[in-house]
Amino acid sequence: MYKDEKQGVDNFYKTPLGKIFSQHLMLTINQLLGDVSGRNILVIGPAIPDMDQLALRCRNIQYKTLKGTSVFPFSDDSFARVIVLHSLEFSEHITGFLREVWRVTEPEGKAIFVVPNRLGLLVRSDRTPFGFGQPYTKNQFKTLLVDNQFSSQEFCEVLCMPVWSLSRKPSVITFMDKMGQLLWPQLCGAFIVDAGKSVYAPEMQGENAKATLAPATAPY
């Protein structure tokens, strides 16, 4: 399914199961966004179903596939919110990718990351995009954010349904997800992470250079 990664992800979210996943993801993302009226939003990744409703809440929303891009085509501090979905786990230059997310986020803004859970149920299946790419444990992703000058303010466990339930009716999948939220949240398919932009940013000579602290106002 994912030989052509972008096409595979887009096709998945056109399926009945993909639409169910979109509803679950967007429910939490909308809660984390807060008040975005008059603000700019960047979505790095696919425009999944239900995401188009964000346009009604903000001034401007842009969708880009930037996982393989070392420099994003945006000015510093351009977006109040940056949503990263099905991008970071496929990036070959994670440090450079996060550095650019940091750069284009407003000083008081935040990034919302959707990442596969290494311990989760969905990584055991290749039927969804969460079974591909680099998964993370909660502690691993917290460390990654801190190392790249983000503060992880909140981790939300989503998509807690077991793999075997994916072939059943939407009502069964939703029921199993609710059960999973109560009984095995540590086995969730993905985390949605609310990350604030720290005052200081890593100063790097290249994408994989060791990070050092530099004022946020320093030139890039």
| Count of domains forming the chain | 1
| Structural domain range at position 130 | 5-198
pLDDT tens for the chain, 220 residues: list them.
444 456 688 899 999 889 999 999 999 999 999 889 999 999 999 889 888 888 888 888 989 988 777 789 999 999 999 999 999 999 889 999 999 999 999 998 999 999 999 999 889 888 899 999 999 999 999 999 999 999 877 899 999 988 887 877 888 888 888 888 888 888 999 999 999 988 665 554 444 444 333 333 332 2
* pTM across the whole model: 0.84
Tell me whether residue 106 is exposed, middle or buried, using C-beta atoms within 10 angstroms of its C-beta: 0 to 12, 13 to 18, 19 or more.
middle
CB-based contact 201:99 (threshold 8 Å)? yes
Please give the single-letter amino acid code of residue 119. Answer: L
Task: Write the CATH number for 117.
Answer: 3.40.50.150
Does 215 fall in a domain? no
205: helix, coil or strand?
Answer: coil
